[in-house]
Structure 1
Amino acid sequence: MRHDDYTLVIPTVGRESLHRLLIALRESMGPQPPEVVVVDDRPRPGDDLPLPDDPPVRVLRSGGRGPAAARNVGWRASRTRWVCFLDDDVLPDRDWISALCLDLKAADACGAAGSQAVLEVPTPRRPSDDQRRTARLATAQWITADMAYRRDMLVAAGGFDERFPRAYREDSDLALRIVSAGGTILRGERRCTHPVAPATWRSSVRAQIGNRDNALMRRKHGRRWRTRIGEGPGRMPAHAATTAAGAVALLAGLLGRRATARRAAALWLLCTIEFAARRWLSGPRNVREALGLSASSVLIPPVAVAHRLAGEWTFRRARPEPPLAVLLDRDDTLIVDRPYLNDPAGVRPTHDAAKALTRLRRRGLLLAVVTNQSGVARGLISAGQLAAVNDRVDEVLGPFDSWQVCVHGASDGCGCRKPRPGLILGAAEALGVPARRCVMIGDTGADVRAALAAGAAAVLVPTDRTLPAEVEHARAHARVAATLNDAVSLVLSECR
């Protein structure tokens, strides 16, 4: 492998540790990274990121949508064979860059899809509850605090699932999908140190929100998902029993059934003591830890159960592979069609285009315009006029992540003109997503047939000029919506 065939992607929320990480990379032995992409995931970036003068970095923004979305923004902007993800709070060893190059060379030699670093978490001999939670990162089967993937494998898998909004389970989900598809992830030799973040007794209670993500893992990967990612069974059954006992005790007391209330309360107390004792015996065993564990051991079971139930409800209809990108026809879908439009002043959005695009962008979907413009081949408009009109569309309704334009005539025999699949496949490649995770929205049968030929989904939004036969074909093989907004609602219903 060439030493310059990888990109470093670092998602960040602006922590000071980012500066320390970049300094460590600068001082690491070996050739400097060919490209470092820092993805700013602050919802409203204010102050500049703590970046040193060297190494040079490219800063992108992901709008506060979480680390999964930030990593997707970063790797999709790369064009190298390998992409290495680093968390902004890790500290690589002095020889990390040299070791990374050797790890990637070894992975290339055996056709591996990824390379996992060795993660070290410094903890005392008797770590606290929060320290133990962080220390589990060192033994996790897959963790993107320091993980490299081949870019083509990221494309095939569709990247990180952005329905995981926290730094939890999104890495295991991606790795499990890649391994299930036949890929292998090697354990490399490079090393990073992951610090233990400051915590209070409430931290372990707040961490229970991860049970929502566990619900999505179960929905996507089945009941045995924990075994498949190398974890034990978890404590949800015990938390459910504890919570049920407490609820029965409270309800029986309110109804005056004292004997039942006493038995249920005794069971709740026994479960709570067992949970607290298990945590206590593994920790530093001091008074401060005892007080914190006592309070959190009471709160964790009901909070964990509540989050799990919320996750089960939220993802009750979740699809394993939701759409990642929406491809839109230009004329009569985004803008009012004026035959062979050659003047940017004539660009007029359709009545619901702006609202529809806002909804798609808010969900984080990638957007591309795919359009046939045979007026260039016929000499009715020039390439410059077409570019000016498209620039105006992008100015009014954009920005779009990709433009795919066919300027050939029907008799030219090209592979890009719809209904052939070239524009759809080109958009998918430019966006870094599999064609099967794209949805085409247009107003003609050519839009639908092009999408189906490429393996994408399609929604037809008929106009007065759409042929009845095209509508019937779309009803049978794709979907039909009355308006662009209705089409977007169909797409978003599959993104849950």
Structure 2
Amino acid sequence: MTRPPSYSVVVPTVGRPSLRTLIESLAAGSGPQPAEVLIVDDRPGPGTPLHLPAAAGDTVRVLRSGGVGPAAARNAGWRAATTEWVVFVDDDVVLAPDWPARLAADLTGQPDDVGGVQGCLTVPLPAGRRATDWERNTAGLAGASWITADMAYRRAALAEVGGFDERFRRAYREDSDLALRVMDGGHRLVRGGRQVTHPARPAGFWASVRVQAGNADDILMRRVHGPDWRDRARAGRGRFRRHLAATGSGLTALAAWRAGSRPVAVVAGGVWAALTAEFALARIIPGPRTPAEITRMLVTSVAIPPAAVWHRLRGTARHANAAPWRRTRAVLFDRDDTLIRDVPYNGDPARVEAMPGARQALDRLRRHGLRIGVVSNQSGVAKGMITVADVHRVNRRVEQLLGQVDVWEFCPHDDGDGCRCRKPRPALIEQAARRLGALPSECVVIGDIGRDVDAAEAAGARGILVPTGRTRLEEIAQATEVAPDLRSAVDRVLGGRRPR
């Protein structure tokens, strides 16, 4: 009998009460439980602790992503995962009682070219009355492709494409973008049989206006996937052309009225009124037609077209030169106790000793075409215990032992100097990335203390902690990604690819 593959569950959250229900439904499910559940707290600042049920158990780990959006939060989750498969679920879904068993069946025996397996989503609509406009929109998720309300990916496939594109700052299009890139990489995406329920949660009066911000993301999709992206992503055409006509006619009417051209203003105003009325009726007729719903539809039907056009223009300007999301291009290492043994304030090349496996780790990265840099605090210069020339001499010895390093950056200052370059500040990483022709988001920083991974986070890079004897327990607990040694850290960078 084939053994089910191991899997991790990643849940980005902003602390909604529904998270507790999700964790309870997972823990109560029949079938193989996940090896780990990674809850990624994406609230902007440290808030009250997440209310997790006692049933969560020891497999649950909470990470922090700092309010950067669901795409970046999911990246933090899968990069911390240790299993072959990573299953993304939203914090407001409820898993079927047999979800773990059906997931195991979905994943077991999948051919190597299958990169992802989607779950089946149900959105229950209210009984005894017609659904509101917002509830009908939520129900549309049931037919959507590749949505991360329940989507399992091979970790290796995620690593190959660099994970989610973090330029998508809201829960919109980031899942379609990822799916297209995974398929472009030669993987197939298939549907499984497991079931999840996605309730249509209550929304505020202006919710339908706020979601028009997704029009900017549509521009990003077009820039990176071409004009046929909607067909490839199985996305509907929407009403943007009508919104553009309504906005244009409304602005024309206002301009003509102010200019004293009453006939033009009347005609343009009539076109605006007709388009707006058609839009409002299309939303009102299928709904419950209560006074509150009708009022909401009338007001928001006036506001939505200009909001959609504004966000489309904003996206056009913001993403004018957008390039495809790129995977890791460079790996930046701390020097002391990461690549070489730490000898405090060492200026003597004869005392340089490579860390175990350092040469093999760097050679693997080189063979995979990744650039290598070193970013190091050297406060001994400020203290007068070593000179800048000493630092360069030690660095040259490191290259003799470990091979060529593409860029060296070090901070000669002490804590009290107030510089931007001393880690955990980001300037060393920013400078190294710039010299390598990369963005900080295209770099991985590997170090042995909290300052290294904090500097990575401050620069917008990915950080991996490789603890040593001087690494504090709280630093290990707070790190998003931890690897036991350099080889394992490089495994993570390369997405589990075998050494060559």
TM-score (norm 1): 0.72
- 2:260 is matched with 256
Alignment of 1:88 with 2:91, yes or no, is yes
Q: In the alignment, which residue of structure 1 is the partner of 2:122?
A: 120
Partner of 1:430: 492
Superposed CA deviations along residues 41-78 of structure 1, whole A, max 9, x for unmatched, are 11112211111222330111111111111110111111
Are positions 1:291 and 2:295 aligned together?
Answer: yes
| Residue in structure 1 matched with residue 348 of structure 2 by the alignment | none
What secondary structure sits across from 1:58 in the alignment? Answer: strand
Q: Say whether 1:167 aligns with 2:144.
A: no
Range 164-173 or range 395-404, more displaced: 395-404
Report the AA paired with residue 120 of structure 1. Answer: T
Is 2:267 the counterpart of 1:196?
no
3-state secondary structure, aligned to 1:11: strand
User: Alignment partner of 2:323: what SS?
Assistant: coil
Give me the whole-angstrom Cα distance separating, in 2, the residues matched to 1:206 and 1:181. Answer: 34
Inter-partner Cα distance in structure 2 for 1:96 and 1:395: 36
Counterparts of residues 138-287 of structure 1 (less than 5 Å): 138-287=142-291
Distance in 1 of aligned mates of 2:49 and 2:3: 33
The 1-side partners of 2:146 and 2:53 are apart by: 30
Secondary structure of the equivalent of 2:221? helix
SS of the residue corresponding to residue 65 of structure 1 reads coil
1:28 alignment partner in structure 2: 29
2: CA distance, partners of 1:242 / 1:356: 48
Partner amino acid, structure 2, of 1:84 = V
Please give the alpha-carbon distance, in whole angstroms, between the structure 1 residues aligned to 2:411 and 2:315: 44
Q: Per the alignment, do residues 313 and 426 of structure 1 end up closer, same or farther by CA in structure 2, a change over 3 Å counting?
A: farther
Secondary structure (helix, strand or coil) at the match of 2:88 reads strand
Q: Indicate conservation of the 8 Å contact 2:156/2:495, yes or no.
A: no
Deviation at 1:183, TM superposition (A): 1.5
1:220 CA displacement: 1.1
1:215 Cα shift? 1.3
Alpha-carbon distance in 2 for matches of 1:296, 1:19: 33
Q: Does 1:316 align with 2:312?
A: no
In structure 1, what is the equivalent of residue 343 of structure 2? Answer: none
Structure 1 distance, partners of 2:275, 2:135, is 23
The alpha-carbon deviation at position 26 of structure 1 amounts to 1.1
Alpha-carbon distance in 1 for matches of 2:148, 2:446: 33
TM-score in terms of structure 2 length:
0.72
Task: Name 1:135's counterpart in structure 2.
Answer: 139
Q: Are the counterparts in 2 of residues 366 and 431 from structure 1 also a CA contact under 8 Å?
A: no
Check the 8 A contact 2:162/2:327 in 1, yes or no: no
Query: Residues 89 and 391 (structure 1 numbering): CA distance in 2 closer, same or farther, change over 3 Å?
Result: closer
Instruction: Tell me by how many angstroms 1:334 deviates.
Output: 3.9
> Contact 1:204 / 1:296 at 8 angstroms: preserved in 2?
yes
Distance 1:225 1:395, change over 3 A: closer
Contact 1:6 1:80 in 2 (8 A): yes
Alpha-carbon RMSD across the aligned residues, in angstroms, is 3.3
Measured at CA, do residues 174 and 85 of structure 1 come closer, stay the same or move farther in structure 2, by a change above 3 Å? same
In structure 2, do the counterparts of structure 1 residues 363 and 41 end up closer, same or farther at CA, with 3 Å as the change threshold?
farther
Aligned-partner residue type, residue 412 of structure 2: R
Determine the C-alpha separation between the residues in 1 that align with 2:377 and 2:140.
53
> Aligned match of 2:444 in 367, 371, 394?
367
What SS does the corresponding residue of 1:167 show, helix, strand or coil?
A: coil
Match in the other structure for 1:98: 101
The letter for the 2-side match of 1:128 is T
State the AA in 1 paired with 2:183. V
Give yes or no for contact 1:325–1:433 (8 Å, CA) kept in 2: no
Aligned equivalents of 1:31 and 1:401: distance in 2? 31
Q: 1:355 to 1:104 in 2, by over 3 A?
A: closer
Number of the residue aligned with 1:386 = none
